[in-house]
Amino acid sequence: MTYEELIEETGAIIGIDGFTPDADGVCILVSDIGEIVIMDCKDAARELVLLNAAVCEVPPDANAALLEALRANSGFKDTKGATLSVDPETKRFELSQYAALEDLDPDRFVAMVEDFATTLVNVRERLEDASLAGEEPPAETAAALGLGEFLRG
């Protein structure tokens, strides 16, 4: 299955007709928790599908926030295999996860996106609960209620 076929079939499962990547292999899912960017990436050995999302702003006094982010990332216990990082340009915490295209089918990919979205909400809330997030995100981004229904259509 090609990346384009995976995205199109995933769109059919979640009820988004015509869900296709752009010329650069990028597409964006938008829901009540914000945007999840999906990208086609290739490394030397295989084709990868990458998920990426902004978590929250890095606060001006970042030491405590970075410590909490590293705790969440420790052994991937709170990130379920995703990686938490800081984008130096946007000064935001970001969550990223990838899988080999060859290991995915549309149902597995939908499950991966659902797990990623749940992890995004959990990490965001963890940083917010610890009063470590810079700017508070809009209220609608703090809840994942209805995400499964949104993704499955």
Q: How do residues 90-116 score in pLDDT, each as one tens digit?
A: 888 889 999 999 999 999 999 999 999
Q: Check pLDDT > 80 for residue 132.
A: no
Query: Contact 6/120 with Cβ under 8 angstroms?
Result: no
Rounded Cα–Cα distance for residues 152 and 26 (Å): 20
pTM, entire model: 0.75
What's the confidence (pLDDT) of residue 75?
59
Q: Check pLDDT > 60 for residue 149.
A: no
What's the confidence (pLDDT) of residue 138?
41
Torsion of CA 23, 24, 29, 30, to 10 degrees: -90
Where residue 24 falls among pLDDT bands split at 50, 70, 90? very high
Count of residues making up the chain? 153
Residues 6+ apart with CB under 8 A from 24: 39
What's the confidence (pLDDT) of residue 39?
94
Token match 């340009």: residue?
89
